[in-house]
């Protein structure tokens, strides 16, 4: 990470609006907030946050699908024709 990705909590409190504008304009995807020279928080642009949330959901669904494939028993599965007959499609 670049040193420009970091901001002190004191500087953030003085330049909150400018920092948020930097994120909103896409100049940066994230800003790491330091307190006493230690990372304490990360500010993300909404675009970056939403992309991260979508990726986590995709990974969750992939893991669920893979787990279901491992436990799939074709003998217990209902056919497409059975479901069409039952629900009238």
**DSSP readout, 35-81?**
ETTEEEEEEE-HHHHHHHHHHHHHHHHHHHHHHHHHH--GGGPPPHH
Q: What does the pLDDT look like over 43-76, one tens digit per residue?
A: 999 999 999 999 999 999 999 999 999 999 988 8
By DSSP bridging, strand 30-35 and strand 38-44 are: antiparallel
Q: What is the pLDDT, as a whole number, of residue 2? A: 74
The domain defined by 3-45 folds into YefM-like fold (3.40.1620)
pLDDT class for 88, splitting at 50, 70, 90? confident
Q: Is the pTM of this model over 0.85?
A: no
């Amino acid at each position: 990470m670049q040193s420009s990705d970091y901001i002190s909590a004191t500087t953030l409190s003085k330049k909150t609006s400018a920092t948020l504008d930097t994120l909103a304009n896409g100049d940066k995807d994230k800003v790491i907030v330091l307190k006493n020279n230690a990372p304490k928080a990360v500010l993300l642009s909404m675009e970056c946050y939403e992309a991260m949330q979508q990726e986590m959901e995709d990974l969750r669904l992939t893991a669920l699908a893979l787990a279901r494939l491992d436990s799939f028993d074709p003998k217990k599965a209902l056919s497409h024709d059975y479901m069409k007959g039952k629900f009238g499609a």
